[in-house]
Amino acid sequence: MSSRRPVFVSTLALALGLLGTCASALIVPMTGWVPVGGNTNVWTDTSGACLLSEELSAQAFPALASQKEALAFASKLHIQLSKSVDTVVIQPVDRAGDWGVLAAYNYKKGADTFKVSQLYLGDAGKLRTVTGSSANAEKGNCVNEMREFIRYLAD
């Protein structure tokens, strides 16, 4: 039996061959979202259809100071992600003078496919990711809320 619940995707390890550790608490401003098991680095909506998580890697990762730096990282990330996931789309995003990279892709686990949105940022010299996932066919309000949060608000 397959599960349609969103999955926690540690693409720090998936894309870059790293083991991530949790960062300080992720602030999720969406109404009704709650920490999973009291862990404020992993959040879900009330229906359980969408999942948000944050990871901080031990890997050194300086802030991306320009769009050019973000594009260079995006290119490398696209190559790495394309080796293990489908339909990869990547773009640089401006975060108040610093730059991040936003990735969207399909992740398969068994017979299920999940839509993943992931933001890569430099945080005090370390790589931090904010990741959202939902089942491929999920159409609930949480999907757009989650994607908009990752695209425009997470930093």
**Pick the residue with more confidence: 52 or 25?**
52
What is the per-residue pLDDT for 27?
79
| Residue 5 maps to a domain | no
Task: Tell whether 78 is covered by a domain.
Answer: yes
* pLDDT value, residue 24: 58
Residue 52 lies in a domain: yes
Domain extent for 141: 11-153
Q: Look up the CATH number of the domain holding residue 42.
A: 3.40.1000.10
pLDDT averaged over every residue in the chain:
85
Q: Is the pLDDT of residue 49 over 90?
A: yes
| Pairwise pLDDT comparison (155 vs 51), residue with the higher score | 51
Q: Is residue 3 part of a domain?
A: no
CA 23, CA 41: separation in Å to the nearest integer? Answer: 7
Asked if the structure places residue 121 within a domain, the reply is yes
> Which pLDDT value is given to residue 14?
44
Domain total in the chain = 1
Q: What is the pLDDT of residues 74-93, one digit of tens each?
A: 999 999 999 999 899 999 99
pLDDT band per the 50, 70, 90 thresholds, residue 28? confident
- pLDDT, position 2: 40
Q: How many CB atoms lie within 10 A of CB 26?
A: 19
